[in-house]
Chain A
Amino acid sequence: MSFLSEVRLKDKFGPFVEFQAGLGFVPNLVLAQSLLPRLIEAQAMLESAVRLREGAIPRVQKERILLIVAAERQDTYCVALDSKILSSLGLLEVQIDSLLADYRNVDLSGSELACLQFCLKLSHHAPSVCSEDIDALRACGFGDESIFEAVVVTALAVYRCTLSLGLGPEPDFGARKLPSTRIVQQHGPASHGLLSGSHEAGQRNGPYVRAPYLSPKTFSPFAIVQKSHGFIPNFFRAQSLRPDLLEAELEAVGRILLPEEALTRVQKESILLAVSAANLNSYCVAMHCNLLRGLGKPSEEGDQIAVDYHEANLSVADEALLDFAVKLGTRGPEFSGRDVVKLQALGFTEEQILECVVVTALNNFANTLQMGLGIEPDFAPPPAFEENKVHLADAVATPIGREGGVYRGDVIQDLDAGLVAQAQDGKLEAFEELVRRHTQLIYRTLMAMLGKPPDAQDALQDTLLNAFKHIGGFQGRSKFSTWLVSIARNTALQRLRARKDVESLDEPERGEEGDFRPRQVRSWADNPEQLHSKSEIQQLVEAGILGLPAKYRVVVVLRDIEQLSTDEVARELGLGVPAVKTRLLRGRLMLREWLSPHFTASTKGAVK
């Protein structure tokens, strides 16, 4: 028995048939997930596409990667299972024992040795993988397809090891002897010519393998992703070299993350965010912060989970759930069946615990893929997370300390910090100076939301009074100017709600995409701004912006006039990045239609 109960599923259950056909039996690791058969389907899809399907790397080589990664993680369950599979593929017992004792002494080709070294580095400390490692693989004759497969097979190995650790299945076969110390620690990475030391995230230069363009029109899984995310994240685009594998992966992700019969979407995204943060994976942190916002969570909550979930506004049970996931996902040797019992004591069902294990495994799969392929960010992670990465780096090795976990960096960097401290002590002169510095920023935000100068001026007054009232609660987790804008936004929202003709800023995105097409196709003059005086252009632009629906107007003003980044706009408005992108494009195109008659090549004279 594993840590959790099992139920008997029919022998004809599709994934069982696949495992029977591919491996000759159904592993206990699979049976341990029988409470939620869709999770077994997900694993079967991944294993079938990554492990069993013929690709650029021969099957035996893939199995050696799976075995060596499991051995490095001291995963006795997977080692026994993978040894048996290698044996069924024709390897002698003595060869398997040698491989486990020290793979470098086995008679393997130079390129396969290089590949195993790479996979171990990726599994052991993914953030240190860099473009030099990929170059070294290429020097050994690896092409994009082989590098891609090596990364995905390693990710699958990490997925399976996380599952086996979290579920504690009975061994399928007798245990094998493992080296007494972990391979990577014993023969430190620096001793290998291939392996370079740890790299700062900023020095990474991905993506490492080519990614041919895949159209949502011809590749239907992308159409689904586009619909659910609003865009196609680089995470999926970067895997377009193997559409078959990508399709299986998307199917598996859907089965694990979308249903809400056990854990909620918010709980799952919180797990993905907390474990990605503990794994120092900026890409996945940014992605899950964004997805949490899309599920209606304020950006501050996601940011705080990324920085230190212990300080986030979570229930005792949800905090324990993240403790469980982070321990399982990043501090494997400390994890045991006792952690499962703890969650049960807090009222979590076995199905929920099972799902937490699988979501954590999926997270480690995704983190490994992202680091191994050097996938470029879609948008920036929370600044607080990036600044706090050093603390988090320590936290990977040791449990997260409560002290120092809350980000304080912006207070130091914010030029307003000195005045803010004085204002918080009640000095009105300091507050007045702060207000004068940021009046324009506040006013533009208010104009963007309210659209009428008298309303914006009244709201400016209310904003300043509200800011003074609440300045004692400002904790320096964002810049002071950002905090002021959020006060302005809330003040404006109150006014909008009080109006009978409320222009909603939060309308659903349904129908926003695709149904607006630009009409004007006449080209503009080379230097259109020279056709009119500055004040004429200002009037024209202001009229155009005020004519936009509120939800587009706000985004255009914050992005193109205030020049906040797309990510900052999303945070300011509590929207997901895709929604901001969609609204920004719409707003810009509407303005373009409005401005077009005044700036075409033949336009002459003053603004009409």
Chain B
Amino acid sequence: MITCEEFFAEFADYMENQVSPEIRKELNLHLSQCRACRVLYDTSLKTVKIVTESGSFELPHSVSDPIIDCVMAKLRKDRS
């Protein structure tokens, strides 16, 4: 079986589902027998899900509209 270090070397691609069937098989086998790596994998997937669904860094219209208005006013003024 591969070591935790070898698992970690493949971890980025495994998370992105970009490993070959052979390697996936090895990694799955490792996961089934190593609690620490299983926790790492599970919590990393949950991290990505939470970050993706968090709606972070949305700019409220109350802030974005005045900025766009200001830009458009400047462009119109430059033109006239």
Binding site for B on A (CB under 8 A): 207, 210-213, 215-217, 226, 231, 234, 237-238, 376, 378-379, 428, 431-432, 435-436, 439-440, 443-444, 447-448, 457, 460-461, 464-465, 468, 517-518, 520-524, 528-529, 534, 537-538, 540-542, 545, 556-557, 560-561, 563, 566, 581-582, 584-585, 588-589, 591-592, 595-596, 599
Q: How far is the CA of A223 from the CA of B42 in the complex (A)?
A: 28
Q: How far is the CA of A238 from the CA of B23 in the complex (A)?
A: 11
Tell me if A542 and B56 are in contact (CB < 8 A). Answer: yes
Mind listing 8 A-B residue pairs with CB under 8 Å? A211-B22, A231-B12, A379-B18, A460-B64, A461-B71, A523-B43, A538-B56, A540-B54
Tell me if A534 and B55 are in contact (CB < 8 A). Answer: yes
Tell me if A524 and B12 are in contact (CB < 8 A). Answer: no
B43 cross-chain contacts in A, Cβ below 8 A: 520, 523-524, 592, 596, 599
Q: Contact partner of B68 among A378, A436, A542, A584, CB < 8 A? A: A436
Main secondary structure on A side of the interface with B: helix
Q: How far is the CA of A432 from the CA of B73 in the complex (A)?
A: 11
Whole-angstrom distance between the Cβ of B21 and the nearest chain A Cβ: 8
Tell me if B70 and A541 are in contact (CB < 8 A). Answer: no
Q: Contact partner of A457 among B47, B50, B52, B67, CB < 8 A? A: B67
Tell me if B72 and A560 are in contact (CB < 8 A). Answer: no
Task: Specify the chain A residue showing the minimal Cβ separation from B63.
Answer: A457
Tell me if B57 and A231 are in contact (CB < 8 A). Answer: no
Chain B: interface residue count, which band?
Answer: 35 or more
Whole-angstrom distance between the Cβ of B44 and the nearest chain A Cβ: 6
B75 cross-chain contacts in A, Cβ below 8 A: 428, 431, 465, 468
Q: Contact partner of B46 among A212, A557, A599, CB < 8 A? A: A599
Tell me if B72 and A432 are in contact (CB < 8 A). Answer: yes
Tell whether A465 pairs with B50 under 8 Å between CB atoms, given A457-B67, A523-B42. Answer: no
Q: How far is the CA of A560 from the CA of B8 in the complex (A)?
A: 20
Tell whether A561 pairs with B56 under 8 Å between CB atoms, given A432-B68, A436-B68, A521-B36. Answer: yes
Q: Contact partner of A461 among B9, B49, B51, B67, CB < 8 A? A: B67
Tell me if A212 and B42 are in contact (CB < 8 A). Answer: no
Tell me if B50 and A537 are in contact (CB < 8 A). Answer: yes
Task: Specify the chain B residue showing the minimal Cβ separation from A377.
Answer: B18
Q: Contact partner of A537 among B12, B54, B57, CB < 8 A? A: B54
Task: Specify the chain A residue showing the minimal Cβ separation from B69.
Answer: A432
Q: How far is the CA of A206 from the CA of B50 in the complex (A)?
A: 34
